Amino acid sequence: MNYEMGWLNYHRGKTEELPNYMGQLYYTEEDTVLLSAIEELKLAAKGMFGCELAVSKDNTVTGDKGIFLKVNKGAGISEEGYRITAKDSFVLIEGSTSRGVLYGTYAFLRRLHKNPDLTGYREEKSPDNPLRMLNHWDNMDGSIERGYSGESFFFQDNEILINSRTKDYARLAASVGINGVVINNVNVKGAATWLITDRYFDKLKSLQDIFKSYGIKLYLSLNFAAPMELGELHTADPLSEEVKAWWQDRIQKVYDSLPDLGGFLIKADSEGRPGPFTYKRTHSEGANMLAAAVRPYGGLIIWRCFVYNCMQDWRDKKTDRARAGYDNFKPLDGSFSENVILQIKNGPMDFQVREPVNSLFGAMEQTNQMLEVQIAQEYTGQQRHVCYLIPAFKEILEYHTGYGEKDTVGEIIGGTASGSRNCGITTVVNTGNDSNWTGHDLAAANFYGFGRLAFDRNLSAEEIGEEWIRATFGGEKKVVDTILEILMMSWPAYEKYTSPLGIGWMVNPNHHFGPNVDGYEYDRWGTYHRADRFGLGVDRSSKGTGYATTYSESNALLYETAESCPEELLLFFHYIEYNYCLKSGKTLIQHIYDTHFEGAKEAEQMAAMWEQLTGYVPEEIHKRVMERLEFQKNHALEWRDVICSYFYRKSGIPDIMKREIY
Amino acid sequence: MNYEMGWLNYHRGKTEELPNYMGQLYYTEEDTVLLSAIEELKLAAKGMFGCELAVSKDNTVTGDKGIFLKVNKGAGISEEGYRITAKDSFVLIEGSTSRGVLYGTYAFLRRLHKNPDLTGYREEKSPDNPLRMLNHWDNMDGSIERGYSGESFFFQDNEILINSRTKDYARLAASVGINGVVINNVNVKGAATWLITDRYFDKLKSLQDIFKSYGIKLYLSLNFAAPMELGELHTADPLSEEVKAWWQDRIQKVYDSLPDLGGFLIKADSEGRPGPFTYKRTHSEGANMLAAAVRPYGGLIIWRCFVYNCMQDWRDKKTDRARAGYDNFKPLDGSFSENVILQIKNGPMDFQVREPVNSLFGAMEQTNQMLEVQIAQEYTGQQRHVCYLIPAFKEILEYHTGYGEKDTVGEIIGGTASGSRNCGITTVVNTGNDSNWTGHDLAAANFYGFGRLAFDRNLSAEEIGEEWIRATFGGEKKVVDTILEILMMSWPAYEKYTSPLGIGWMVNPNHHFGPNVDGYEYDRWGTYHRADRFGLGVDRSSKGTGYATTYSESNALLYETAESCPEELLLFFHYIEYNYCLKSGKTLIQHIYDTHFEGAKEAEQMAAMWEQLTGYVPEEIHKRVMERLEFQKNHALEWRDVICSYFYRKSGIPDIMKREIY
């Protein structure tokens, strides 16, 4: 199995001398997680300094020379937090649990990439989110829904794979603080329905144990209709006594075999998946029934809110998919069990390059909430375009929902607002069995960055990017500066050359790659731009579909009028004429032309910048990335020309810059 | 194997008495084709009259009572012609070959469906086209490119199938006068390249012999790169001596095993297929090399003219796919060998619901030409919509090319103009292994009609339709009238509710089902409507791409201006503003609105008319057709609303009828 380890490659620095603290490693107890930390430190010391660490168990080290991994329950550190204190020749990494020590170890290694001189170094951090999860959309046949990095490394031919990648994946995830992984696609069909049966328990147990040694809990996606599809009942009605009994029995069997299982993720009544609606039950009735079954084992039910009518008639201008999540779930606030978490996509649509924050955040004050983002880039270049999404996630986390004092999304999902521990953040992940795990080498920054941001939401996108570059490619200034600039310009560029001002879509049905302006315009998915010869956009104000009114009072007011609406969301909330004057003084149509030419230009610049790194990054990686950036450059031109031509043909208004539009 | 026999089902008439001539059948000689005719007559007599025919060989019958199948070389009948003369109790079916007698037999049976009273009946006919062929786009894995009636009945898992369907297919084809069948897809890949090797000779021989007993010649599609793909040479250059020698040897081996093979069909330098262009050779150099190899065996090389740039940039408004066939082939006139036939699609694009006749017809006076149409309905409803194409084919055959005296397409491809025998008509066929062969039961009228029209181009679409209905469903007036009305209104209705005035396309890429107005607008296939807020259409006059100038002088003049251009082709040849006034007095945009509402209404009417036939046609067939007509009705509404909305949004001009447009 031939693959690389990205930011865990522990390459040798050019001029590093062996620091005084490198040589001896002490630890306090035999614990699989602590052993993982030890192994990681040994690998790093060997890779970065050519140093073979001597390891000894010793609970009484007081501080002289070496590194000391110390589980210390009495040190006032939170469950997953860590504290690092360093003197010239001695480094103490403490946690109240071995998991905390593991996170401290990775933090220490990050610091080494930045500067091995630890003079005055002290770091203490508790994770901002109780749950920091990855959602794999891996199917058991080995395919990955919306996967752009090869096949699954968890499944093949309806069997579970366990090999060296399994542990190395756990290392990658743990190194950025991930503590939960859902291994199978939320669309649970066929063999995946059988994951909760003894057909798969042995392999799952191995997987659970590997994960556990890196502080990660295994989760499974569940088929709500399992009682029927496993052939045992004729109903899946959550209020049926036999269904309840069936689940209690089934869940007990699962936990008998997999005692450390974190719980289950469920996509119900969504895009054809079964759910409580089939039986005229509410989502809380559905979720609570399962929550009762997992409660004895400390399990969680994570319930997705992606529920909408995917058979809409495009002629129907009253129904609004954006409203669906709010309309379906808001009335249920307070009715969910304590171990149910609603998993809410960042926006009301579906991972577009720009969406408003979902109005459900903060609106359900009596309900556990978890944020779902997507680094798989389904709508943001599919890992063929570089699109560093951490700046976008920062904006989401910092968004003020307008509910209460601690009202940012970050505070809500982190539990700061409510005090809950059943909350957090998850992402649809971007890995596969490609040799570099993420297809596009630069897409690894999204995996890395997601985890880091989930752990510490106050980190800036630049800080995270720089950490990742240093660990992956080394600390040479030209390398760090160039790649960081590419990362930081990539999301804005992608937004510029694709769909304008929050309207989204403009991609081909099914595979979701663009450009195709009318791709979803006359379709059943509720995703329309409503462009005509006068303008475009969807009126979601109180005079339109009313989606704007589902926000807190202050935000609802903001979105209600075109004048007050944040301009990057203008077309999401309003139908705007082409000659409308934006705050920049430009008309809407001129803004569309200008941003598209700018964005395409920036794509060209990114390719040119990467070319300058020839000889500075490993040749094979340079070539791989170069090919993708060249593709992106050309594809950005295609986007630019299609969008500009489409709107020129519709508006008839020429570009004042007289650039060629077709 | 459970399937039906359509117009060869020989159902019992309600009140038929046994005619005097039914009872005894005489024939002149043991010949497989004649035996096929005898078998068909026996089946028909049994089915229609419950009569077991007595059969005897007797060359000396003079005419008393019975039916006499007579091969009579001295009767002055053409090679495939027949003559039927009937008295009260005696019917003489003559041909100079047994094939002529077979065609006469089927003609006689058609007459029986119309009226078993033969008083004064006499019929004599020679086929109008020397070659009357079917092109199967069947792949050896069993799939069918653009197949909408199930899987292939010729191939499965890279093997050739021979079973009862093989012969029954030959019966269906022969019954309408087909004399040549290409069994494999023109896109020859993988196993199909090996059809010219001994891997498949045994099965092909069986197929050839079954076909032969119905007067049909077997043809194969050929891979121009076979010398390389079969792993024997490093080039396929048609002027290379080793390539010539390779083909001569290969073709000799083919004919050693398949002495009755008609020849080969080649798609070269088209949509990614290899061809002479790879070696900077002309198409005549490519075709003639193969023609030389097959000449000793009387074989034909049928060379498709579907050669165009399928990597066009949509931004490029000068390149015109419509011109490609003419530009590629016209300069080669006179350079093709006598046993090469150019197979030319009816229009310059690709089987759209309305296209001008291809300007190559008649333009190459020194070249054998064959017309290719498509009954598979790739762009005309894919056998989910009823669309009886015979009226369209009639228009094509009757089109005056403007070259010489006998200048209709029918006269050119029939050889009337040139005296050639290497010419004719072919269709991409619409059959598969569905129980009714054509998916949509009414699509069988296209198979039937194609053959009949190929045999006798003077038949009207109504006559052909009526023949087919009588044979398939019986002669009850309500049945005949209703189905005929549905057939005759179907093509005009489809044209009305889909793309307007010859512009074509407006379908989804790849699968070609619509509606999707911009589906191909920003793509690489050379298929654009160029709609903007002022109008739509492609200027192909001398001021535009110049395609209009590739016609004969008279036709070029006709197409040159919007005023003289036949209105059904207006948008094919001209960019027209929405407020342009048509001959009807309506504006273009109003015409678009009106035709789309009319067409959708007609689709509704067709469904309602069919519903009236409950109890008049077999229940299962009624149900199958009803389902498709209901689908068509709804899909026509979708077409109507998408097209009208698209152009309303672009033009901003309201419907004067104030119907709802979205």
pLDDT tens-digit profile of A388-435?
999 999 999 999 999 999 999 999 999 988 888 999 999 999 999 999
In order of B8, B19, B35, B91, the CA distances from B69 in angstroms are 20, 17, 10, 9
In this prediction the ipTM stands at 0.87
Which pLDDT value is given to residue A239? 97
Residue A517 contacts B, CB cutoff 8 Å: yes
Residue B516 contacts A, CB cutoff 8 Å: yes
Residues of chain B short of pLDDT 70, as ranges, are 1, 15-16
Which residue blocks in A59-146 are alpha helix, DSSP H?
A: 98-114
Confidence class of residue A87 from pLDDT cuts 50, 70 and 90?
Answer: confident
Nearest Cα residue in chain B from A515: B522
Rounded distance between C-alpha atoms, residue B445 and residue B456, angstroms: 16
Query: Which of B314, B516, B522, B579 to probe by mutation at the A interface, max A CB count within 10 Å?
Result: B522
E strand or H helix at A42, and its extent?
A: helix A32-49
pTM of the model: 0.92
Phi, psi values for residue A352, rounded to 5°: -70, 170
Q: Which of B534, B642, B649 minimises the CB distance to A532?
A: B649
Rounded distance between C-alpha atoms, residue B602 and residue B625, angstroms: 16
Rounded distance between C-alpha atoms, residue B55 and residue B66, angstroms: 10
Residue A578 contacts B, CB cutoff 8 Å: no
Rounded distance between C-alpha atoms, residue A298 and residue A259, angstroms: 10
- Among A405, A428, A401, A400, CA closest to A416: A405
Residue A436 contacts B, CB cutoff 8 Å: no
Residues of chain A contacting B317 with CB distance shorter than 8 Å: 662
Mean pLDDT of A125-135: 98
Which pLDDT value is given to residue A276? 96
Chain A nearest C-alpha distance from B578 (Å): 13
A15, pLDDT greater than 80: no
In order of A585, B105, B298, B402, the CA distances from B425 in angstroms are 64, 23, 19, 20
Q: Which of B317, B645, B652 minimises the CB distance to A533?
A: B652
A273, pLDDT greater than 90: no
Rounded distance between C-alpha atoms, residue A293 and residue A102, angstroms: 32
Contact A430, A443 (CB under 8 A): yes
Rounded distance between C-alpha atoms, residue B474 and residue B478, angstroms: 10
Residue A650 contacts B, CB cutoff 8 Å: yes
Residues of chain B contacting A533 with CB distance shorter than 8 Å: 533, 649-652
Contact B651 A522 (CB under 8 A): no
CB atoms closer than 10 angstroms to residue A156: 15
The separation between CA A383 and the C-alpha centre of its own chain, rounded to angstroms, equals 14
Q: What is the DSSP letter of A18?
A: P
Residue B579 contacts A, CB cutoff 8 Å: no
Is B271 among the residues known to form the active site?
Answer: yes
Residue A516 contacts B, CB cutoff 8 Å: yes
In order of A133, A136, A224, B126, the CA distances from B416 in angstroms are 77, 68, 71, 13
Query: Which of B317, B318, B516 to probe by mutation at the A interface, max A CB count within 10 Å?
Result: B516
Rounded distance between C-alpha atoms, residue B407 and residue B411, angstroms: 6
E strand or H helix at B94, and its extent?
A: strand B90-95
Rounded distance between C-alpha atoms, residue B382 and residue B148, angstroms: 6
Query: Which of A316, A510, A522 to probe by mutation at the B interface, max B CB count within 10 Å?
Result: A522
Rounded distance between C-alpha atoms, residue A626 and residue B609, angstroms: 62
Residues of chain A contacting B646 with CB distance shorter than 8 Å: 518, 522
Rounded distance between C-alpha atoms, residue B130 and residue B413, angstroms: 9
In order of A490, B410, B654, the CA distances from B127 in angstroms are 68, 12, 52
Task: Enter the tokens of residue B343.
Answer: 């197979």
A478, pLDDT greater than 90: yes
Phi, psi values for residue A260, rounded to 5°: -100, 10
Is B285 among the residues known to form the active site?
Answer: no
E strand or H helix at A249, and its extent?
A: helix A241-257
HSE, CB side, 13 Å, CA atoms: give it for residue B245. Answer: 5
Strand partners, A68: A26, A92
Rounded distance between C-alpha atoms, residue B206 and residue B212, angstroms: 10
Rounded distance between C-alpha atoms, residue A421 and residue B69, angstroms: 93
Nearest Cα residue in chain A from B509: A508
Task: Enter the tokens of residue B349.
Answer: 């694009």
Active-site residues of A: which are they? 271, 350, 378
Rounded distance between C-alpha atoms, residue A188 and residue A190, angstroms: 7
Contact B517 A516 (CB under 8 A): no
E strand or H helix at A133, and its extent?
A: strand A131-135
Rounded distance between C-alpha atoms, residue B279 and residue B243, angstroms: 12
Contact B394, B460 (CB under 8 A): yes
Mean pLDDT of A70-90: 94
Residue B515 contacts A, CB cutoff 8 Å: yes
Residue A518 contacts B, CB cutoff 8 Å: yes
Residue A534 contacts B, CB cutoff 8 Å: yes
Contact B48, B111 (CB under 8 A): no
A154, pLDDT greater than 70: yes
Q: In chain B, what is the straight-line distance between the N-terminal and C-terminal CA atoms, in Å?
A: 49
Which pLDDT value is given to residue B176? 98
Rounded distance between C-alpha atoms, residue B398 and residue B461, angstroms: 13
Rounded distance between C-alpha atoms, residue A549 and residue A526, angstroms: 19
Query: Which of A318, A506, A510, A532 to probe by mutation at the B interface, max B CB count within 10 Å?
Result: A532
Residues of chain B contacting A518 with CB distance shorter than 8 Å: 516-518, 646
Task: Enter the tokens of residue B487.
Answer: 């057939």
HEC states along B588-634? HHHHHHHHHHHHHHHHHHHHHHHHCCCCCCCHHHHHHHHHHHHHHHH
Rounded distance between C-alpha atoms, residue A591 and residue A568, angstroms: 11
Query: Which of B511, B532, B536, B578 to probe by mutation at the A interface, max A CB count within 10 Å?
Result: B532
E strand or H helix at A446, and its extent?
A: helix A444-455
Q: Which of A317, A518, A651 minimises the CB distance to B533?
A: A651
Confidence class of residue A47 from pLDDT cuts 50, 70 and 90?
Answer: very high
Which residue blocks in B381-500 are alpha helix, DSSP H?
A: 390-397, 409-413, 444-455, 461-473, 477-497
Chain A nearest C-alpha distance from B316 (Å): 9
Rounded distance between C-alpha atoms, residue A217 and residue A297, angstroms: 13
Residue B650 contacts A, CB cutoff 8 Å: yes
Contact A516 B532 (CB under 8 A): no
Q: Give burial (CB, 10 Å; 0-12/13-18/19+) of A543.
A: exposed
Contact B364, B333 (CB under 8 A): yes
Q: In chain A, what is the straight-line distance between the N-terminal and C-terminal CA atoms, in Å?
A: 49
- Among A78, A75, A69, A52, CA closest to A107: A69
Contact A346, A307 (CB under 8 A): no
Residue B313 contacts A, CB cutoff 8 Å: no
Residue B522 contacts A, CB cutoff 8 Å: yes
Phi, psi values for residue A223, rounded to 5°: -95, 115
Which pLDDT value is given to residue B428? 98
Rounded distance between C-alpha atoms, residue B255 and residue B295, angstroms: 11
Cα angle, residue A580 at apex, residues A579 and A582 outer, rounded to 5°: 125
Rounded distance between C-alpha atoms, residue A611 and residue B237, angstroms: 40
| Least trusted range by pLDDT, from A269-283, A322-336, B28-42 | A269-283
Q: Which one is catalytic: B29, B256, B271, B611?
A: B271
pLDDT digits (tens, 9 = 90+) for A103-122: 999 999 999 999 999 988 99
Q: Which of A317, A642, A650 minimises the CB distance to B522?
A: A642
In order of A172, A458, B101, B537, the CA distances from A577 in angstroms are 48, 39, 73, 26
Contact A533 B642 (CB under 8 A): no
Chain A nearest C-alpha distance from B541 (Å): 20
Rounded distance between C-alpha atoms, residue A270 and residue A347, angstroms: 16
CB atoms closer than 10 angstroms to residue B103: 28
Q: Which one is catalytic: B151, B350, B539, B641?
A: B350
The separation between CA B150 and the C-alpha centre of its own chain, rounded to angstroms, equals 18
A66, pLDDT greater than 70: yes
CB atoms closer than 10 angstroms to residue A659: 13
Phi, psi values for residue A345, rounded to 5°: -65, 150
Phi, psi values for residue B221, rounded to 5°: -80, 140
Task: Enter the tokens of residue B29.
Answer: 């000689």
Contact B357, B401 (CB under 8 A): yes
Cα angle, residue A96 at apex, residues A91 and A101 outer, rounded to 5°: 45
Instruction: Tell me the residues of chain B between 185 and 224 that have a Cβ less than 8 Å away from chain A.
Output: none
Q: Which of A641, A645, A650 minimises the CB distance to B650?
A: A650
Phi, psi values for residue B312, rounded to 5°: -70, 150
Contact A589, A647 (CB under 8 A): yes
Average pLDDT score over chain A: 96
Rounded distance between C-alpha atoms, residue B295 and residue B654, angstroms: 63
Cα-Cα-Cα-Cα dihedral sign, residues B447, B448, B451, B454:
negative
What is the percent of chain A with per-residue pLDDT over 90, rounded to a whole number?
A: 94
Residue B644 contacts A, CB cutoff 8 Å: no
Residue B163 amino acid letter: N
Residue B641 contacts A, CB cutoff 8 Å: yes
